[in-house]
Structure 1
């Protein structure tokens, strides 16, 4: 059986999304929601790692995006610019019996706003940049190791790092470079690893990297074109050792788009009639 076939459909993820938000105090990030729902449904790391057709987002997270979009159209949840989702009063009262109504109402609203192109536009509503990120990720996977390291070096500089250099030393626990991240008056020395993984990165990679950076720097950073298993993310953030930040392929593409690296962002020119001008003639 194809692993994606064992994943719940997007409509079956609506109530788990509502229940997870309640459990998490009424609000949560995309990652917190995904972890809570996957744990509740008993999904394996292998199931969560299956990529969607756009090759950028895991299929499970792609279906969750659809579920959140339908819930948002219905008024059961809302999201902030920082990607934090929260329950509304409608969401607090939501029940299983409402799911079919949500699907009907969402389709009607989307079709009324977008006409015949509603289905494709609805997908873009759920994640407008998903297709671009998928194609961008394909390009990243064709880069040679040293090219990918140079790209990561430039991205870190654009993101506020200084003194960034690629070391590329062998037998150094996977460490590819180092830099200093400056936040206002504070600075943190960071070791980073950047690798073009196709599949999931497991906890062993994180453990090995932590062992190599132990006692040398304040923080660690792993950048990959692949994804991280839930266990790898738990290992990266566990109490005690130095924290390791993780950037997966989808997050990497978001950062490249945000910093205009490897993409051309075109602005749409909007022209409106100036009624006040004509009234003053």
Structure 2
């Protein structure tokens, strides 16, 4: 008997947000079971550190991934696209979002008030497989690069929160932060954003998609989308705290823009954010 599991690992920016996402997931799974979906689904409170094997697991009922591994690392061939959330945050437009380019206060004082002025500074990035922190930033900097170089160095921090800490601690100067993450952190603790300044945004792209194993039938995918809508409507205060406005049904082709942004950077001779 298949043992389905589910987890929403991407926007747990504080413990409270993590609890709210788990509660929304629980409500969605309950509604899904009532609609004929499997009732025996385990939820992971703490997803594994290496998310790719989990996203590819044949027993995955529902999770959320980044658009970069979905489109660029072949995940789209292993999963079904269920939904893309829509958020109430500056930088979001329907199911699309941007990253906010931010610099440390010290870099701002030294004149880094736009991306052009960040040439030769130190970048902080959450991960090599991140669209919001890496691909979007690479695309933005590519037209400004010279001989394949723009930043003096790149530190890989593991999360957007750690990238903001790197700016606050002056171990980096500039970063691209998912606008939804930034809004949730601002709601939770505005003090976390002291000492950083916004200087622009990246181009927009489809948001972080909800996915399921390809072993889940298409009729169940439709029921799962309806279950997410049900969970959203079940608790308006929870939805507001998560800045969650609704869910869209994207097409696979919507995520081509992420691949195109990577191609554009390569065409400018800037295929690697962390240049040699």
Larger Rg: 1
- With a CA cutoff of 8 Å and minimum separation of 6, indicate the structure with the bigger relative contact order: 2
**Which bin holds the TM-score, normalised by the shorter protein?**
under 0.3
Q: Which has the larger share of strand?
A: 2
TM-score (norm 1): 0.22
TM-score (norm 2): 0.22
Q: Which has the larger share of helix?
A: 1
